[in-house]
Structure formats: C-alpha cells, structure tokens
Amino acid sequence: MLLRFTTAVLLSLSLVLARPAAAQEVEPIEMKTIAGLRYDPPRFVVKPGAKVKIEIENADDMAHNFVLVAPGARMEIVNAAMTMPITPEQTFIPPSDKILQHTVVLVPGKTATLEFTAPEQEGVYPYICTYPGHGMVMYGAMYVSKQGEEQLPTIANDENLPDMVRDQANTAKLHAHATEPPHWYRTFMRDSGPASIAVALPGGQSYCWDAGACRLRYAWRGGFVDPTPYWKGNGDAFAEVQGTIYYRPGVFPLRFGEAKKVPTEVRFRGFNVVEKFPQFHYNVGSVEVRELIKPAHHGGIEATYQLTGAKGAVYFVVEPGAGVEASSSAGKFIDGVLKIPADKTKQFTISFLEILNREPLAYWSMNDTLVGKKPLPVEGPKGRAVIFDGKKSEHATGLKGKDLAEGATFAVWAQLAKPPTPEQVLIGAKSDEGEFALGANLVGVPGYGVRVKSAKQEAKIVAAMPMEADDLWHHLVATLDRKQLRFYLDGKPAGMAAAAPLPGEAELFLGSLGKASFAGATLDEARIFARVLDAKEIAALYETERGKGPPKPVPKPETAAPAKPAAPAKPGSKPAAKPATKTSSKSAQ
Amino acid sequence: MKRFILPLLLAAHSAFAADQGPSPYYTVEDIATPPGLSPEVGGLAFRPDGKLVACFHRGEVYTYDPATQEWKLFAQGLHEPLGLLAPTNDEVIVMQRPELTRLRDTDADGVADSYETITDAFGMTGNYHEFAFGPVAAPDGGWFISLNLASDGAGIRHEVRGENRERGRIGRMYSAVPWRGWILKVAPDGKVTPWASGFRSPNAPGFDAEGRLLVPDNQGDWLGSSPLYHVEKGKFYGHPAALAWKPGETRAPLKIPVEELDKNRTRPAIVFSQNIVANSPTQVFHDSTEGKFGPFAGQTLVGEMNRARILRVVLEEVDGQLQGMTVPLLDDHGLRKGDNRFAFAPDGSLWVGETNHGWAGDKGIQRIVWTGKVPLDVKEMYLTKTGFDLVFTRPLETASASNPENYKAQRYYYEYHAAYGSKQFDLTEIAPKAVTVSEDRMKVTLEYHPLLAWRIYQFDFKGLKAEDGAPLENSLVTYTLNHLREGTPPPPPPGPGALSEADEKAARTKEAKKDPEAKPAAGKPATTEPDEKPKTAAPKSATAKPASTPAAKTSGTTTKPAEKKPAPKATPTPAAKPAATPAARKPATRLPARP
C-alpha cells in the first residue's frame, strides 16, 4: 500500500513537470455540425497568429461543410456558392480569396480536421456551411482576439451569431398566451415513457403523467418544467423538471379483484378539460377510468378516480417507503394497500401528502444522457448508465452544500474506466470554504472513499480496495450530518469519522469536483438526499439495484498497466492521466 | 402589417432574391401572428365557417378570423403537432407526435375541452426524428397518417412505446418500433391498417384532384433525391427500414439484398432534383379553387422547405404508372422559405405556413392571391412516343418558340443505393431533334433522339416568351421519365446495398472504439465525393449552335444533331458504377451504439 501511495505522488509530480511541454501542443477545437443547421460550438476564440486545429464532425443527418471566410465575407460566399454551377461533384466551394479554410462536404458521420495558423489581424471570421440553403442560417464566428471568451458579448447578444442561436439563448417568453397553471405540455420527460404529459398545477405542484403506461410517474414541487431544451435544436432533449420530485411510484397503482395482480392491458383515450384541469381517460382491461389530479388543500396532490365497469373491490397500491403519506376518501390504507369497497368505486379521491426529504433531493437514473449527446448511455446495474470521460464530463446538479446542512446522503453506482486517473470524484463540490468528494483514489490514496474538508477540519474515509479499476460496479454511499461522516461500500458500512461541514456555497457536481478531478467512470443511479439514510436503508438500496445489470466480468489480477490502450482515448491524445490534474498535484499531501 | 420574422433572415432573403420584385400574377402578403408566439407552423386548415385553424411547434392550436384579423387560442400543450384538419366548426383532427387526436369544443366557448385520442397504436422510441405527419381525410372515412423513421444521429430512449424489435434497429435511419416508415390508414373508430411501407421522412401526404394519395419523401439514405410517390395499398417504396414490420418478413431489413429491394419497390412518380428543384419537399395538395387561384385549377401542388418555392406537379399515367413534370408555381416574389403547410381559403387565396424548425427557412404565415393575370408558363407536359408535348398558358412568340436552342436540356438519373443521396448518373446534354409549334402557338412538340427511360429530363426554357413579350415566368421544368410510351427497357441496376455481415461486425467493433473511420456512411462515393468523373462535362458549357437561325414561320420544324455525346445503349448502364467488390467497400451504414 505504501509503495502504491508513493507511486501516485510521483505520478502527480511528473505531471506537474510535464505540463510546460504539453502546453505547446495545440488543443483541438471540437466542432460539430448538429441538427437544426447549427454549429456546436457557435463561436470560439483564438489568439492572433496562434496555431489552430479544428476537428469537425458531421453529427447531423444531412450533408454539411465548414468554410472559414474573411471578416464580412459571409453573404458573399454564401451567394457565390449558391449560384455557382451545379456540378455532379457538388463541392459548393466557389473560387474566392476570401475563403481561408474549408473542408469538403461531409456526409453524415464524416469527420475532417483543419490545421492552420490564425490570422494576425484581429476580427470576427465567420465559418459557414455553403451547402445550398444552409449558409443563410448555418454559421458561427471564429474570434481572432488577444482577449479571451469572457470579453465577448453573451450569446443572446452576439450579433455575429445566427438569430436561431441567439433566440435560443434568450428564452424569456415561451408563448403568446398566458401560462397560468393549470397548463400542460405533452413532451419528452426523463424517467417516463415517450408519450408523457407534464402538468403544472396551482400552488407550485406539478406532475408527469405517462400516456403510454396510463399512470402518474412522478410529482414535484417548485417550478414547472423548462421545455426549451426540447424545442430548440432537433427535439432530442427533455423538458427538464424545475423542482424537487417527492413522489415517484414505481408500479401501476390500480388493481381489480386482487391487490397483487398488476393489470397489463391499458389504453389511453385522451383527456377532457374539467375546470381547466386535464382529466385523463383510459381503459384498464374492461374498466373505464377517469383520473383528475388537483393540488391537495394541505400540500401535495389529490387524484379523483371515476371507474366504470369495475366489478367487486378495487385496490390502490402505494409502495412502502414512498415519499408520500396517502389517504383515501373511501377505505383505508393498510401496509400501503388501499381496499375500496365495491360500492365506492364509482368515485373516490386519494390524497398524497409529501413526506419531507423521504425521496432524494435529486436523482439521476442515468437512463438517458446527461453530459452531452454522445456517448449514448450503456447498460448499467439498473437500466442504463452514463459514461463520464474523465476529461471534461460532469453534470452540475444545481444543489449546493447549504441545501444539505441538516444532513446528507450521497449514493451512486460506479464502474471505473481503466486505467484510473489519479483522483476520480463521482460526486463532489469545491470552493474556497472547502470541499466534498465521493470517489476513488482521493488525493492519490488508493481505494474508494469520501473526504470532507473545511478550513479547520478534514474528514476522510478510504475503504481498503485495490487502486486499479477492478472492472466491477460498486455502490458508494456517504452520509454526513453535523457529527459524523459515514461511508458505505456495496451496501455495507466501510468506516466513519468525525464530521466536517460541507462547503455551503459550492455546487455539487456528478463526475467531478467541479471542473477538476474528473471521473473516468460509468455512473448509474445517483442520488442526493437531504437526510441521513440509515444502514438498513442503504443496504436495501444496494440490494434492490444490484444484480440486475449486465454480467460482471471476472476481476483481473492486480498487475501492471493494461496492455491495450484505453478505449475512450482518442488517437493522438496523451496516454493515462493527462487531463486536469491541477487539483491532484496541488493537494497531493 | 408587421412581419414577425428574424431580421437576419429578412436581410439574407433579400440579398439572395434581390432581383425578384413582386410578381404581377400573385401577390404575397404576410399575416401577423400573435406577439410572443413562435410561428413555426405545423398545420393549416380552413373551417367550414371560413376561419383558419393553425397549429404551431410549441403545441398551440389557434383559430384566426380573416375578417377581424383576430387570433384565439383553441388548444395548447400538444406534442409537436404537424398537421391538422378542421372538418367542422368545433372540431379539429390533429396529428401530434404521439397520437392522432380529436380536439373538440363541446361548450361553444371557442376553446377545446376534449382532447380525444383517436389512435396511438404506433411505436415511439423517443428518437427525435420520429415525426408524425398527416392527417389527410380518406375518401371512405378515416384518415391517412405517415410516420418517420428514427435517425442514428441519436439513440432510442430507455422506455419506448410499442414492441422494440432489435432487427429494425440497424441502419442510418431505422424502425425499431411498429410502423415507423409506414403510412397508416386510421378508421373512424381508430382502428389502424398498415397501408404502405418504405418511407423515410414522408412530410406530408395529400390527395390530388383525381383522388390519388401522393406523398413526398426526403433525400437521404436509400433516396438519391427527394421523390413523390403514388401511394397504393400494400406497396413498398424503397427505404428498407420499414420492412422490420412487414408481416412474414423475418430478415433484418439491411440483410435483404439490394437487388430484391429494388425489384420490389415502387418507383417515384416524380424525382425532385436535389439542389435544383427541391431539397425538402413538403405537403402535397391540389388547387381546389376551380379557377379562383389562377390558370392551374385542379393541378397538384407541393411545397419546398429549402427555397422560397411552391411547385406544380402534372402527372400522367404511362404504362400504368404515374410520372410527369414539375415546375415552380411561384419562386421568391415575396414568398419566404420554409413553406411547410398549405390551405386554400374560401376566397381562393392560398395560405402558406412556414417553419424554420431544424431547417433553413422562415417562420410565419403568408397569403397568396392571384391577381387575375395569366402568367406565361408551361401549363402541362406530356410524354409522346418521341419526346414531349408542352402546353402553355398563353400563345408563344413564334421566333423564340421555334428556336431549338431554347429546348436544350439535360438528362440524368439518381441511383438507388444504401448510401446517403446520389450524384447524377449519366448526366448528358441533349438538344431536340425537332421542334414543332402548334397553329395556335399554345403547344410545342419536342422530339429527342434517343428518348431514354428512367431519366429525369431537366429543361430551362428561359428563352421563351409570350407573343406580347412577357417572359416565361417559371423556366425550370423537369420531367421524370420512367416509362416510355412504347417498349420501356429495364431500369438501371441499383447501387451498393447495405452491409454484408462481416462488414457489419467490423463496423461495430470500430464504432465501439469511436474510430472516426467507422463513421462514414458511404458504401460508395457519396454525393460529394464521386470516385469517377462523369462521362459528360458540366452542363453550362454548351457550345453547340443551332443548325439554322430561327425561322419566322408561324409553325415549323427545325432539326439539328441530337446529342453531344455518343448515344447511350438502349439498355442504360450507369455511367459510374463502382467496381469495388463488396469486401473492399466501406460500411454503408453507421451502426448505432447499443444501450
């Protein structure tokens, strides 16, 4: 163990030494042509006379090129390309000395690389797609400037960018009509079927109803959804919840005849607007159901069901441990099962009152992408998992340390990539006040663990685990209150220490410490609770999620570095731990 | 009226179309939409009471009273509505992404209070490209709708609706869940009948005046250039992905040999030449105004997203199959781009709904009114045994009409193959063998020798003018000549199909490594990278002089050499068939990463 620890420190040192040499290499600009006739990024800055390398990938499903032109020459080149004779080759590159650089037309999926020296003249050099019809709206701006990106106007105000791009950066007004709740969007919602309906209710309550499964998928309080990610671009995005989900039923709740028999046959028939609220209409087998969800008088929501064609008793199931206290206008809940007498099934109302902090403050099933369009999610322990590349993948949670002041639990499944980078933070936050890190090889100390650090205190727990990635999925949980920090690995307690406070103003990130200590890992089922879960709950979480994923590979003996280059590494990139090692070198003590 | 369009696009538009003033024949006016609405139009229809109904990208359905110019919100929160019908004054049938829906105003307050699902019996993976188009009302009740394929530019969601069929999941554009790539017939009670298959992005179906169901598709994989199909029950139209759901078919669509696909497909009635006629044709409809909209009553019209253009299509049946001509109805002249949806108002004006969503274009609504003047245009075009009859709207000026120089043309074809798009094969410049102008100067008969089947004939009649000197309004005319009047030879063979099994494995391995080399979609030279030069030079360098100066006869025949290049064989051979063996080919299709 001591030997490996030394190695890690040496590795950090060598990285520090190697940096000046690496700095002379050109950091390529990754440019994509994306759906909606856009370049991503829409602009970038280079220094006058600097060496520039642009790697262009056509990630759209139509043909594009990339043509860099002199300042002010955009429309001239667009028009020239449009009016040039159509040749079978279809290059769309008109003869002009105002074209500085260009690719061929890239069919979807194709890539090209341009390497050149930036002009000495400062200015805005447009890049355009000269494919006919595209250049009017498909362009971006290469700023040649001695100053950095921070000196530029905001994207919404950058007149060198297409209006489409600027419009989408400015999302103040979404509709011409008032959107006072109740109102709704049929749209794509995370952790629901593709035919989902997000409904805003008065009083800051909202819910997601799945028109495929014909049931409530989750309810939340706070803001409604931001539908703009879905509207902008090509529609490959979700409307994102702007609040805290407190109820997430996992099963279809209505049962007929037997409480345990989950109906399989449902058919959505639409909805009526009743006092401005949508009342869903669907069939469960031969039973016709109308379901009207309103805000409850004392917080939470209530659902009124009208059933036609139900014979005998009807059951309604709320799973144990759900984030709500359910009560009914007819019958009583016993162990989460409500039996509605046959004579009351015509109409009954069930109220769902939030149990504060029972559900996580935030939860990522990782069933869909979080950190960009690619790579697409892979199979994980539960559903899909998302690959974090160890270079720049991270997901800002929107939560800060102060949101968890009364107690916190951080839980995540992780499978480390090989070879592991020195410090891999799966969930982390860092500011001048201190830091929180749940991950592996923290500060070069091998093993999985957790660290909380403030100006005065530091708490650290490292489980005795191999330093190299063992190819296995592991479940990491840390709990923290004012007194204690506890760490659980794979459902079992793995150590505790006296607590240190979370940095209150630091934002929590998945996959990094916040622009540092990126995890090269596949993550699944990440949760952040605003309470301390006990050992039983943590063991249960582990048990319900393990063993459902892909077959686990046999752990390899701990020997030398892997023979094959790491899969995610790009050709030409430095091996091992080139990226972002500032933190590890600084804090390697 | 205020224009709610992007200033940039306005600038760009006028820069491009600076030479185009208003048309003397059609006025184009902008219809102001409510401030704050993003007027990306998905559907337009007029109700029996003369009010317009329009749906928009962000889920709104509005009604608009042309008399008072007032907008009223009818429904909201729809999931990307892309087409609607307004059969009664209180009912709208709207196609949204997840379902066909009947919106009804049951309490006569002008706002829908019933959102009834007519059918959602088709799959959804959550892939962005799974747009749903229609509805069009079937003559015997019910509706037709058309469903897009998914794109491997993105994956499928963890939760999908409908059976998820693995073998449908392979390919650039794929059909992992039921009826993607199909046109469905929906009965009035919601029962769904799969009607026809093999579509990629069929935006959007419509009927012609003869009651034939037509649908355009979009250039892409398996589509060398955008087509217009005559849709008939049970037929397959060429994109194999949909075959994952063909009853009795157990092979993965890409494992079906290209020769078999080619043999089984129904060819387009029209091919819109890419970058010339249309890049992204939109809704099919027809002039139902009985003359209120001008001299083309009854003709079929098709929108085009990529240009400020609406096309006329004139079909004729040759050898039992539809084929025919295209010509712009209106090009620029104040029309904006993104022309996606159309509806004729009771007064005979044409309302155009525009969208720039995910595409070059504009957004908003425009109204086109015929001024009552008749433009000089090619009204109709028919295939003869030896060439074409052109029928004009007005008498022609004789000298130009009888000048063979004005009838020089090009012919070429686009290849059927797995890769994205197609270059023009066998591009050849041709000149007429004979030009005959009719007595009334309303008709010109052209002879070309040889007249080849399975070619697109492209004309630019800019040299023609009316007897009063007015120029020909729309000179770009194409005719998709599949069948000859007599003795049609077999069509050109298809190009390379999809992957062989070994190629597929190799591609999968490469893809897993994120090797950029694994990504190219080209199984053969793509649109922009031909590996062989075409036999014929680019068309603009025509040098042949007419054999004689146009004669000042009121009618007559002029002859001249027909061809610039040696006459092709009777059985056409593609000019540039790749010689590569299958093993040497690059994978034709990128495999999506597996979740």
Contact A428, A509 (CB under 8 A): yes
B213-216 and A362-364: which strand pairing? unpaired
A43-46 and B99-104: which strand pairing? unpaired
- Contact yes or no for B6 and A167 at CB 8 A: yes
Hey, CA dihedral for B485, B490, B492, B496, is it positive or negative? positive
For A82, the 3-state DSSP assignment is: helix
Name residues whose C-beta falls within 8 Å of residue B434's C-beta, 6 or more positions apart in sequence: B387, B445, B446, B447, B557, B558, B559
Task: Band the pLDDT of A349: cuts 50, 70, 90.
Answer: very high
- Contact yes or no for A89 and B530 at CB 8 A: yes
At residue A458, what are phi and psi to the nearest 5 degrees?
A: -140, 135
- Contact yes or no for B159 and A194 at CB 8 A: yes
A347-354 and A301-308: which strand pairing? antiparallel
Summarize pLDDT for A290-338 with one digit per residue, the tens. 999 999 987 899 999 999 999 999 999 999 888 999 999 999 999 999 9
- Contact yes or no for B113 and A63 at CB 8 A: no
pLDDT at B48: 98
User: Which is nearest to A301 in space by CA: A194, A209, A395?
Assistant: A209
For B544, the 3-state DSSP assignment is: coil
Task: Specify the DSSP element, H or E, that contains A449.
Answer: strand A448-454
Distance CA A576, CA A418 (A): 9
What is the value of ipTM here, to two decimals?
Answer: 0.83
For B13, the 3-state DSSP assignment is: helix
- Measured in angstroms, the CA of B437 and the nearest CA of chain A are apart by 31
- Residues from chain A that touch B37, judged by Cβ atoms under 8 A, are 175-176
Task: Band the pLDDT of A465: cuts 50, 70, 90.
Answer: low
Summarize pLDDT for A23-70 with one digit per residue, the tens. 457 889 999 998 778 899 999 999 999 999 999 999 888 889 999 999
Contact B3, B337 (CB under 8 A): no
Distance CA A333, CA A335 (A): 6
Q: Is the pLDDT of residue A393 over 80?
A: yes
Which residues 174-233 in chain A show a CB within 8 A of chain B?
Answer: 174-177, 183-188, 192-195, 197, 211-212, 227, 231, 233
Summarize pLDDT for A192-237 with one digit per residue, the tens. 999 999 999 988 899 999 999 999 999 999 889 999 888 877 888 8
By Cβ distance, the residue of A63, A186, A377 closest to B421 is A63
- Contact yes or no for B8 and A57 at CB 8 A: no
Chain center to CA of B314: 14
Which of A452-466, A479-493, B347-361 has the highest average model confidence (pLDDT)? A479-493
- CB-count exposure of residue B468 (10 Å: 0-12, 13-18, 19+): exposed
- Contact yes or no for A270 and B117 at CB 8 A: yes
Q: A389 touching B, CB under 8 A?
A: no
Q: Best interface-test mutation with A: which of B159, B192, B226 has the largest number of A CBs within 10 A?
A: B159
Q: A496 touching B, CB under 8 A?
A: no
Summarize pLDDT for B240-250 with one digit per residue, the tens. 999 999 999 99
- Contact yes or no for B158 and A383 at CB 8 A: yes
Strand order in the sheet with A139-144: A43-46, A139-144, A123-128, A67-69, A99-102
| Whether the model pTM is above 0.90 | no
- CB-count exposure of residue B490 (10 Å: 0-12, 13-18, 19+): exposed
Average predicted confidence (pLDDT) for chain A: 84
User: Which is nearest to B29 in space by CA: B367, B347, B332?
Assistant: B367
pLDDT at A179: 85
Task: Band the pLDDT of A420: cuts 50, 70, 90.
Answer: low
Q: Is the pLDDT of residue A185 over 70?
A: yes
Task: Band the pLDDT of A441: cuts 50, 70, 90.
Answer: confident
Hey, CA dihedral for B271, B276, B280, B283, is it positive or negative? negative
- Residues from chain B that touch A36, judged by Cβ atoms under 8 A, are 357-359
Summarize pLDDT for A487-542 with one digit per residue, the tens. 999 999 999 999 999 999 999 999 999 999 999 999 999 999 999 999 999 999 99
Name the stretches of chain B with pLDDT < 50.
1-19, 500-502, 511-595
Distance CA A186, CA B115 (A): 12
Q: Best interface-test mutation with B: which of A55, A65, A67, A89 has the largest number of B CBs within 10 A?
A: A89
- Residues from chain B that touch A94, judged by Cβ atoms under 8 A, are none
- Measured in angstroms, the CA of A383 and the nearest CA of chain B are apart by 7
Distance CA A92, CA A85 (A): 9
